[in-house]
Amino acid sequence: MEQQLKKPELLAPAGNLEKLKFAIHYGADAVYIGGQQFGLRSKAGNFTFEEMKEGVDFANQYGAKVYVATNIIAHNENLVGAQAYFKKLYEVGISAVIAADPALIQACRQAAPDLEVHISTQASIANWKTVEFWKNEGIPRVVLAREVSVQEIKEMKEKVDIEIEAFVHGAMCISYSGRCVLSNHMTARDANRGGCAQSCRWKYDLFEDGIDDDAAISEQADEDYTMSAQDLSMVEHLPDLIEAGVDSLKIEGRMKSIHYVATVVNVYRKIIDSYFDSPDQFELNPEWVDEIWKAAQRSLSTAFYYNEPTHRDQLYGKPERIPKFDFAGLVLDYDEQTQIATIQQRNNFGVGDEVEFFGPNFYHFKQTITELWNEKGEPIDRAKHAMMITKIKVDQPLNYYDMMRKQK
C-alpha cells in the first residue's frame, strides 16, 4: 500500500510582531523570529519577551507555532546568560529554538529540557549520516544546508526517521551554509554572530592576476562584478520537495518587508493546498508564478536542488528588470452597503492610480481609484501622510488585513 504523503508545515520569517501577524494571517503554519540575543539578524526588529508572548498568543489563535533563532556561532563571551534566556523562552510558550552551536544546545537542554531544539542550517547538514547523528542525539528536526539536492533529501528521509526542514524561497549566501568570513574581514562585523554586512552583494572591480596595471578588467563590462547569488525559488517545483518528504518548507527573509512576507506566504500556501486537494491532477497556475515576481528583489533560481549552480545562477551584468510594487495600504474595514473600504496608508497613493487588492487564499482584483476621502469624510486627491486613515470606493468586497499595493 502506497504511503500517504504528509502535508508539510509552511514556515515563514517574522522580523517583528507585525510581520508575524501578517505571516500567520496569510497562511503560515509556523513562524521563526529572533530575540535580542543569540540570533544571526542583529538588524532585524528582534523581539522582546513581551512581544514574543503576544506573538505566541496570536499564533495560538490560528493553531500556529513560533520558533526562535538562536543560531550564532558563540564565542566565550556570548555564552553569558544563555541558560536564563532559554528558560524564559520556554516560559513564554515558544515551540522550539533553532540552534547550531553545541554549547547553546547544551544550555537549552539544561535550562529548558522540554523546549524542542532544531538544528540550524548553519550546522551545514548535507548528508544522511550527519542527520542520523543528530537524531541519535535526540534532536527531532534538522534544517538542511542549502547546498543539498532533492535526491539527497530523498535519501536522508529513506534512511533516517526525523523531521527535515528545507528552504524553498529567499536569499542565498555565497558562503557555504552562510558561514561567511568576508563581512568580518572587510568590516569587522561578524556574520556568524549576527553582524553580516552583505559584502558579497557589493560591487567589485576585477583585475588580472600578475598584471601591474591600475585598469580593471571589469571597466570593459556593463556592470561591476559581485559575488552574489540569485535568490532561491521553488515555486515551480514544490511537489518535488513534498514528495521527497520535506516536513517543513521554509521561506527566508526576516529582514524583508510585510508585502514580501504576505505575498510569498500566500503563494506557497495556495500551491501546497492545491497540490493536496488533488495530487494526481495538480497543475501549476501561471498566476502563482507571476505573483511571486511581484515580491522578488533579484533574479530567481532553483540553486542546488537539481544541479550544481553555474554562472547563470549568479548576479552579474545588467540586472534583470523586475517590476517593483509598494505596499500602499492596509484594509481596516469594509462597508457592504456603501462598498467603501477604510484603508490605512502605508505608501503614497491617490485618485487615478491603478492599485491591486489581495488577501489570503489568493484573493485578487485590480481597479483604478476614482474616489478618495480622509478620515473625516472630506474628499482628497492623494493620501500623502504615513499611516493616515482613508476611505476608498472599491469594486469588490474586502476583509480586514487585506492589502493594497501599487506598482512603482
Domain boundaries, given as residue ranges, for the chain: 9-172+229-313, 178-220, 325-407
Alpha-carbon gap, residue 207 to 223, rounded angstroms: 14
Residue 387 CB neighbour total at 10 angstroms = 9
Report percent pLDDT > 70 for the chain: 91
Sign of the C-alpha dihedral, residues 326, 258, 237, 286?
negative
Is pLDDT above 90 for 145?
Answer: yes
CA–CA separation, 104 and 79 (whole Å): 7
- The CATH T-level fold of domain 325-407 is Elongation Factor Tu (Ef-tu); domain 3 (2.40.30)
List pLDDT tens digits, range 82-115.
999 999 999 999 999 999 999 999 999 999 999 9
Instruction: Write out the CATH class of domain 9-172+229-313.
Output: alpha beta
pLDDT digits (tens, 9 = 90+) for 32-81: 999 988 866 555 568 999 999 999 999 999 999 999 999 988 899 989 99
**C-alpha cell belonging to residue 381:** 486627491
Q: Which residues of 151-179 are buried (b: 16+ CB within 10 A; e: fewer)?
A: ebbbebbeebebbbbbbbbbbbbbbebbe
Reduced to 3 states (helix: H, G, I; strand: E, B; else coil), residue 275 is: helix
Contact assessment for residue 141 and residue 163, using Cβ atoms and an 8 Å cutoff: yes
Question: For 331-372, how does the pLDDT look when each residue is reduced to its tens digit (9 = 90+)?
Answer: 999 999 999 999 999 999 999 999 999 999 999 999 999 999
Residue of 68, 70, 50, 62 lying closest to 23 (CA atoms)? 62
| Residues 250, 141 contacting (CB under 8 angstroms) | no
Whether the model pTM is above 0.85 = yes
Q: Which spans in 179-244 are helix H?
A: 182-187, 238-244
CB 81 within 8 A of CB 74: no
177: left (phi over 0), alpha (psi -120 to 50) or beta: left
